[in-house]
Amino acid sequence: MPTPDLNQLFVLNAVLSENSVIRAAQRLHLSPSAMSRALARARKTVGDPILVKAGRTLVPTPRATEMRERVAELIQQAQAVLLPATAPDLRRIVRTFTLRTSDGFVETFGPDLVKGVMKHAPGIRLRFVARQARDAAGLRDGSVDLETGVVDGTTSPELRQIPLFVDRMVGVTRAGHRLRTQRVTAASYAAAAHVGISRQTVDQGWIDEALAARGLSRHVMTTVSGFAAAIAVARGSDLVATVPEQHTAALRAGMHAFALPFTLPSIPVSMLWHPRMHADPVHTWLRHFVRETVTKRARAA
């Protein structure tokens, strides 16, 4: 069976709305003769005369009357599909978005993000998951909607990205630690006992390289798997933790933080997403909201 010409829906819609070939032609910006030919093709496809003479006017056939609303509805649906998406009504949206990020990011920025979403889009749920690997699989297959992290040579070039803030490493001790009462030098930093971090996105090799360039090395007393655990150990001991400043702002409450006495590379944190989500209006709103919320909190820290 041959595929029908869908352009005939526009012809039928115009004719059934106007009950006049001339007015239908004007509506579609066609000549009367072109409209007559288009109507003839539609009549052949449908197998019905569509409009018939009744005195000096044209009236629709029963089949045409039956089709009128369906044809108009199909035209509206087609136009809705082809027209650009409009701004979403956030109060009516019900969706869950998965954000893959670090525990420190959630600790620092999560409360503001959740509070803002509840205020502006109460039907949207944020699901935070930890990064288990540095790859684009989750964003590519749709199991992850947004991701935050450091963009480097391992980041997939297909991903869209936008900067959020620039972080830096700082030293952290308990409030009564001896380093709080003195100017921290590279030597005094190295002489302190440290808690190391084994699994993270920020390379702690930077620290040891910076110390080695000065003929120094640090003594790592214990090793943990992440920033939160390192801060918890430092809070309850005399160990020094070295962690990203912005990512751990909430975790470090009540502790002493100090600038490192040597220069380390800055840590540019970005938001990433897959191109297939770029034009989605709700996803677009979420990206703008996350960026605005995170950068505002980062500036205030």
- Summarised one tens digit per residue, pLDDT across range 202-212 is 556 889 999 99
**For the domain bounded by 169-265, which CATH number is listed?**
3.40.190.10
For residue 84, what pLDDT band results from cuts at 50, 70 and 90? low
CATH fold of 7-82: Arc Repressor Mutant, subunit A (1.10.10)
What type of residue is 137? Answer: A
Among 79, 16, 75, CA closest to 48: 16
Residue 184 has a CB neighbour count (10 Å cut-off) of: 17
pTM: 0.68
CATH class of 95-167+268-300: alpha beta
Is the pLDDT assigned to residue 181 strictly greater than 70?
Answer: yes
Q: Which H helix or E strand runs over 285? A: helix 281-300
Whole-number Å distance between alpha carbons of 224 and 208: 17
Query: How does pLDDT run across 221-264, given as a tens digit for each residue?
Result: 999 988 889 999 999 999 999 999 988 888 888 999 999 999 99
Q: Please name the residues in contact with 13: beta carbons below 8 A apart, sequence gap of 6 or more.
A: 71, 72, 75
Q: Angle, nearest 10°, between helix axes 103-120 and 227-235?
A: 110
Q: Are strands 95-101 and 57-60 parallel, antiparallel or unpaired?
A: unpaired
Length of the chain: 301
Same topology between domain 7-82 and domain 169-265:
no
Domain locations along the chain: 7-82, 95-167+268-300, 169-265
